[in-house]
């Protein structure tokens, strides 16, 4: 296929000139700073796109959300991966150790028993695995409370063979959804300063703490200016969605859409052949990229989107670009991502989902 008009729909498509511009803007942000990018693979799950991000410069490696993603990245030739999550069961820990034998793979931890299990498995294979202790700076998800609790875990894992304390992971994700830029950045900075203070306590106790890794697309321009923050785990910036676009303004542009066909027309109302099985909608109903006046009053059908569009000129069989409200979820719903420039398809990138072959 050479044209987007030849695709079976719904189809996940990426406007490459826009995505490339997003990548270049992120790289330019860190160009004159000590902080580096560690793009989050969970956004798109495409190894080819990860290589494009790394090639643009300013990156120390990739971030993975799961052991599956880490396997795909290392198998795809990427040699520096942070699993920004806890890997706790024996089977997954064994895969972690196998990956760490082939690449520089770090993992997040937040408890001693998990640290001991990783250390024991690594020691048995004669290697050492780097860990970042996760600090809960406001997400109320994984992680230890800042300060004493984190320092206590540092001191307990310090004597363990097979494990190496490299620093902290701290995600200010609770700030990312705040629409007001000034408020969002203020909350993000105040939150990240809890991790920075924890780092200083660790260092005052005589332990090296080389890394603070965190941040998101909606907050990195604030937290990325803090001297002690070393890695930015931004992900959505490369594809974007309409929800994130409302928060970040002209920092990045929406490159990702789902192509759908008009399959029914009834006056001011029309129906598209794409629904919740192909469009992520956790942040709201999708929007039509080229028709901002069109309304989607409700969104919940598996394979249909109903649109209210007074005065429209669309016909059955017309192709439209649908912007999701959640790009990460949308990417995970499709096997292939079709890359295009103008109307021409230039590449097809398969998803790394589930057990790699």
- 312 and 264 belong to one structural domain: yes
User: Is residue 160 located within the same domain as residue 53?
Assistant: yes
Query: In terms of DSSP bridges, do strands 163-170 and 129-134 run parallel, antiparallel, or are they unpaired?
Result: parallel
Chosen domain end from 239, 266, 300: 239
Query: How would residue 354 be classed by pLDDT, with cut points 50, 70 and 90?
Result: low
Q: Is-contact 277 339, C-beta < 8 A?
A: no
Q: Structural domain of residue 278, as residue ranges?
A: 4-10+252-350
The domain that contains 326 carries what CATH number? 2.40.37.20
Query: Is 265 among the domain residues?
Result: yes
Beta strands in 16-95 (DSSP E): 36-37, 62-64, 80-86
What sign has the CA pseudo-torsion 113, 117, 122, 125?
positive
**Sorting pLDDT into bands at 50, 70 and 90, what band is 353?**
low
Is the same domain home to 260 and 216? no
> 266 in a domain, yes or no?
yes
Q: How many residues does the chain have?
A: 357
Are 229 and 109 members of one domain?
A: yes
Strands (E), 110-175: 129-134, 163-170
Mean pLDDT throughout 13-34?
Answer: 98
Q: Are residues 266 and 335 in the same domain?
A: yes
Considering the domain architecture, whether residues 256 and 235 belong to the same structural domain is answered as no
**Residues 158, 261: one domain?**
no
Residue 355 located in a structural domain:
no
Inside any domain, residue 70: yes
- Report which of 259, 242, 239, 277 is spatially closest to residue 320, judged by C-alpha positions: 259
> What's the confidence (pLDDT) of residue 177?
85
Q: Whole-prediction pTM value?
A: 0.96
Q: Whole-angstrom Cα distance, residue 286 to residue 310? A: 18
Chain Cα centroid distance, residue 316: 36
Same structural domain, 296 and 228: no
8 A C-beta contact, residue 14 and residue 337: yes
Listed residues 182, 206, 239: the one ending a domain = 239
Mean pLDDT of the chain: 96
Contact 214, 165 (CB under 8 A): no
188, 211, 239: which is the final residue of a domain? 239
- Does 258 share its domain with 291? yes
Looking at the fold, whether 216 and 89 belong to one and the same domain comes out as yes
What local confidence, expressed as pLDDT, does residue 77 receive? Answer: 97
> Per the structure, how many domains does the chain have?
2
In a domain, 186, yes or no: yes
Same domain, 273 and 145: no
Are residues 110 and 148 both part of a single domain?
yes
In tens, the pLDDT along 187-207 reads 999 999 999 999 999 999 999
Token representation of residue 282: 């956790």
State the Cα–Cα distance between residues 223 and 332, nearest whole angstrom.
Answer: 28
């Amino acid at each position: 296929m050479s044209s987007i008009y030849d695709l079976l729909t719904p189809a996940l498509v990426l406007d490459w000139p826009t995505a490339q511009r997003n990548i270049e803007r992120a790289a330019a942000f860190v160009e004159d700073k000590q902080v580096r990018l560690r793009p989050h693979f969970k956004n798109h799950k495409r190894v080819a796109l990860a290589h494009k991000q790394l090639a643009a410069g300013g990156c120390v490696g990739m971030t993975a959300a799961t052991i599956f993603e880490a396997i795909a990245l290392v198998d795809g030739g990427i040699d520096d991966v942070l699993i920004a999550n806890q890997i706790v069961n024996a089977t997954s820990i064994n895969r972690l150790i196998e990956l760490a034998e082939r690449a520089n793979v770090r993992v997040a931890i937040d408890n001693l028993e998990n640290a001991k299990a990783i250390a024991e498995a690594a020691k048995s294979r004669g290697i050492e695995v780097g860990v970042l202790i996760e600090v809960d700076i406001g997400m109320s998800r994984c992680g230890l409370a800042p300060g004493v609790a984190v320092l206590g875990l540092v001191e307990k894992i310090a004597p363990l063979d097979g494990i190496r304390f490299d620093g902290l992971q701290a995600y200010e994700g609770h700030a990312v959804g705040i629409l007001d830029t000034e408020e969002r950045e203020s909350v993000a900075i105040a939150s990240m300063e809890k991790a920075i203070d924890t780092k200083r306590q660790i260092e005052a106790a005589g332990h090296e703490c080389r890394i603070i890794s965190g941040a998101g697309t909606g907050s990195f321009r604030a937290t990325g200016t803090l001297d002690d923050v070393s890695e930015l785990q931004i992900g959505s910036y490369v594809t974007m969605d309409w929800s994130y676009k409302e928060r970040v303004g002209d920092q990045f542009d929406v490159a990702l859409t789902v192509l759908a066909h008009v399959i029914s027309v009834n006056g001011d109302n029309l129906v598209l052949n794409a629904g919740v099985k192909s469009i992520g909608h956790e942040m709201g109903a999708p929007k039509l990229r080229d028709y901002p006046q069109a309304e989607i009053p409700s969104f919940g059908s598996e394979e249909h989107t109903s649109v209210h569009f007074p005065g429209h000129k669309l016909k059955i069989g017309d192709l439209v670009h649908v912007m999701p409200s959640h790009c990460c979820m949308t990417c995970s719903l499709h096997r292939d991502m079709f890359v295009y420039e103008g109307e021409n398809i230039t590449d097809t990138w398969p998803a790394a989902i589930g057990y790699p072959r």
